[in-house]
Amino acid sequence: MLRRRLTRLFGGDERRVDSRTIYVGHRPCPATEAFIPPKFCDNRIVSSKYTVWNFLPKNLFEQFRRIANFYFLIIFLVQVIVDTPTSPVTSGLPLFFVITVTAIKQGYEDWLRHKADNEVNKYLVTVLEDGLRTRKESEKIKVGDVVEVVEDETFPCDLILLQSSREDDTCFVTTASLDGESNHKTHYTVPDTVKDLDSLNATIECEQPQPDLYKFVGRMHIYRNDHEPAVRSLGPENLLLKGATLKNTEKIYCVAVYTGMETKMALNYQGKSQKRSAVEKSINAFLLVYLCILVSKALVCTTLKYVWQSKPGQDEPWYNEKTQRERDSNLYLKMFTDFLSFMVLFNFIIPVSMYVTVEMQKFLGSFFITWDKDFYDPEIQEGALVNTSDLNEELGQVEYVFTDKTGTLTQNNMEFIECCIDGFQYKYRDAGTELDGFCVTDGPVSKLQQKAGREKEELFLRALCLCHTVQVKEPTGQLREQVDGLGLGLGRGRGLGLGLGLGLGLDGEGLPQEEQTGFIASSPDEVALVKGAMKYGFTFLGLESKNMKILNRNNDVEVYELLHVLNFDPVRRRMSVIVRSKSGDTLLFCKGADSSIFPRVRQEEVERIRMHVERNATEGYRTLCVAYKQLSEDEYAQADAGLREARLALQDREERLLTIYNQVETGMSLIGATAVEDRLQEEAAHTMEALQGAGMKVWVLTGDKMETAKSTCYACRLFQRGTELLELTVRTLEEGGRKREERLHELLLEYHRKAVQDAPPVKAGGVTSWSTANQDYGFIIDGATLSMVLNSSPDSNSSLYKSLFLQICQNCTSVLCCRMAPLQKAQIVKMVKNSKGSPITLSIGDGANDVSMILEAHVGIGIKGKEGRQAVRNSDYAVPKLKHLKKLLLAHGHLYYVRIAHLVQYFFYKNLCFILPQFLYQFFCGYSQQPLYDAAYLTMYNICFTSMPILAYSLLEQHICMEILLDNATLYRGIAKNGMLRWGPFLYWTLLGIYQGLLFFFGVRYLFSNPALQDNGQVFGNWSYGTIVFSILVFTVTLKLALDTRHWTWINHFVIWGSLAFYVFFSFFWGGIIWPFLKQQRLYFVFANMLSSVSAWLVIILLIMLSLLPDILLVVFRKPRGPRAPQNKPVEANAGAPRSPRSSARPLLMRTFSDESNTVI
């Protein structure tokens, strides 16, 4: 890293200029010039965090930034420096254990990153050097090297395509590892490059590295002997990105332009901002409370010590006279030292081992999601993925769900449904059911003709066959024969009127399977439209040497020269092609969203198509409008010159191209529109219903049209028939005929009165039910109106608009935001996340346009869909289908939260029980800082004796089984808003700890009021006193956890009874041997001697029973309510069904404990 930074600092002018110059093959251009090779970074990829040399200091620095670790380090140093009552080992060993375990975990994770880096960096690639093909490691590639890549090989760096084995000078690429799109993309060689690359003298001038995957500007200067250098433009179509894979192409040659950490893939690798769960914030709050308790205890003991010593004879008794040095020491320094000593004595009230237990619980608990077979999808042969385990419990606290529509609520599996040509609807029908291919529903009924003119039909179908970037996959030998045979009958008898379905393959029986896989495209929409044209008799045969071939319904092959492609972009929302027919006509075909096409065509043509588009959108179909324009020679020459000039520009290339596009795409003629269906995801409606039943508000954020999105919301049951829709869109703003700002203000106030002021109050944690008599509201807003709400003009009250908008949305059952840009999706999530109460938000999506909202939300879920894996890579969790979200939240999320909440409360409780007797003991030992417990017990209490049972509980506990949690979504509301880590439950656990600590100490003290506790008349000493208290403590806190356990497995039995057995064994072992390394052995035979007393046995058993009595009484006498009622419903409903072994084995436990766990745990 240091070398790379020095290179960037001293590596020439690269930092000061906006472009870089690359010499292809490291040859000087022209050959007579002096060649000074420019310096660029090497091709090593470094995603690891540590090296062998910096691991220890860097990891320790990061760990001691945590306040608990730093606190225990200070305590350890105080024990080393100051004469304290306990050994430094008591705090040093637990701290060492925590630091070591965390370092091993982080070191292992970084080792995996190193391993992955080495696999990439040591990968062998073929490089052309001085005419020879040499194999070298990927990390040794330099900018300017000419690299050979063969089919199915991954590109080692960012490359410019120079030569391809395909005749049409193209290659096909999949970018699944970059954006997840498995569709093949077409890339083109640089025109006019010589076939013999050894003789190629050229330089590439391009922009400096930047992370945008879809943007690249550059130009290549090709030098020939005694000729002016030829200049060719370079764009994204010439750039092959590191991580992408070569497909359907035998071999290509390229030149490296960006290497190593300057590749677009590396620049896109950015660490996600650290997300903190609500549980972590609760831990920090509780930690501060216990820190205050600790300081208070130390202050009280220090004060009382000096009050007690101020009495005559107490400061210096006859048996403990002070030395002269002690008498001369500063009083205030002595008081401060005593205060530190008390802090050290009581420091175990702060549970340092809780942090490592929480980390282990999160890390190990995340495997249950990846192991869940219900999340496995056989179609993609993948299950769920956990990218971060820090947010497991947050899955049980979600209040707002923000979902994308296309690919999330719907399948992103496009099917051509119908089209409209010149105002007439053409709906394809199966040959067996209907011969007609059209029905007139949208066109004027008064017209005599029953369909559009044949010329318009053919023009429309040609537009579908030409206006796209689809490629035909090269067939194999047997496949080619089938396709050739198929071509003979494709157009036979296939008019748009009679006999539409009689052609071979149109009912799906004649066409072989390759018809489904024979097209390569970057978007499923484009393939659906090309296949739709096939249904009506026009077949796209492919692109060869810039010539597009079409087989029309008369079985004639039409050839069009492809002159220019005006690529689709989300700003224009359309794409165009300019082609030249054999007759010499230059045509522009354009397709795009209605909002983008309608302003650019003749307005008299719009009304005939608009009704069709709006009806299709209402039915939930995706619609595109198709237009064309015949260009004159002058118009084309002007457009051609402008496009070529813009494509050679290094600065502002995108803006210049956009200007030319807008100039060309005007004055077009509207031909028709298409309707493509994107079906709902499996169980989408059921999942949304369950989430709403669990108390979550669902918002749909989509870039689609309002009508399409609205129909999807109805299909998913987010909107019901009785739901009153409050619409805030450009259409409603323009209805009043006044300024948009005034109308916006008026509508916001009206909707606020309806949904907020006049609506009955909603109970906390609940949502309005559809079964109630109250009116339900749904809210709809579009991107343009949202911009007005969030970015109002300075003279308007923008904060008022935002506040009104938020209040309206929060009182609606569902919200639909349509025509959203990716940034607006993130703005919506951020606005809700930062609103009053800081609700927990979840975003779910499947495409690159959802990444911003996934990163913004508290929890981001990616769906492994067809739009790519960029959402999956940036998410916290990923699932194959939307239906899996229900179990992820209602079952896994619920259980994770209950487990970790119990873990946190239990840790504070057991440490309070541990230290309170130590504090009380000071009142009876003259505040002399005498420890009650042996150093071994102090050290091993949190590490060994009580750590494993709570870890097993926090991984395996199911206070309510998963089936019941899934059947009763309302159970999710019981833990909403961090219900189990509020101050009420925390106070309960604290009071329980105080009660048991008092009982331990004073119960044993009452036992010691009888001086003769042994048969031989000897009395117990202070170490026996502490050992009895400690024994009661260990058994009580462990059995308390056993009482709280609802779901017993062999692991729970093993760790709970095993921990108690280990404590007994260790006490015998530790006290039964004389250890040579100990200066003083306090517990020698103390434990065995203690157990020889019947009185000790009696008091241990009695105090354990009394300590657990409140829990037992609470369980026995508490009225069963809450989750019990919903739990019984599925059991009764399925009375005749066979019961699962687990549910039949413990019905009593389920009935008895499931309710109490919601408030006590």
| Active centre residues (catalytic) | 404
Name the β-bridge partners of 581.
none
Q: Of 961, 904, 1058, 925, whose CA–CA distance to 287 is shortest?
A: 904
Element (H, E) at 148: strand 146-150
Distances (CA, A) of 782 to 238, 401, 818, 843: 37, 18, 5, 19
> At 616, is the secondary structure helix, strand, or coil?
helix
Phi, psi angle pair for 96, to nearest 5°:
-60, -40
Q: Which amino acid is at 164?
A: S
Which of the 8 DSSP states describes residue 1010?
S
> At 589, is the secondary structure helix, strand, or coil?
strand
Q: Of 425, 357, 359, whose CA–CA distance to 392 is shortest?
A: 359
Angle in degrees, CA 986, 989, 990, rounded to 5: 85
- CA distance linking residue 43 with residue 121, whole number of Å: 8
Q: Which amino acid is at 315?
A: D
Which residues lie below 8 Å from residue 703, measured CB to CB, with a gap of 6+?
A: 406, 570, 783, 818, 819, 820, 821, 849
Angle in degrees, CA 191, 197, 198, rounded to 5: 150
Lookup: tokens for 146: 């000419």
Q: Which amino acid is at 580?
A: R
Element (H, E) at 801: helix 798-810
Instruction: Note the residue count of the chain.
Output: 1161
Angle in degrees, CA 234, 240, 241, rounded to 5: 120
- CA distance linking residue 774 with residue 760, whole number of Å: 8
HSE-up of residue 1052 (Cα within 13 Å, Cβ side): 17
Burial 23-39 (b: 16+ CB within 10 A, else e): bbbbbebeeeeeeeeee
Which residues lie below 8 Å from residue 712, measured CB to CB, with a gap of 6+?
A: 405, 409, 410, 620, 680, 700
- The maximal CA–CA distance of the chain, rounded, in angstroms, is 126
- CA distance linking residue 646 with residue 638, whole number of Å: 12
Phi, psi angle pair for 704, to nearest 5°:
-80, 175
Angle in degrees, CA 384, 385, 387, rounded to 5: 155
> At 1150, is the secondary structure helix, strand, or coil?
helix
Element (H, E) at 459: helix 454-466
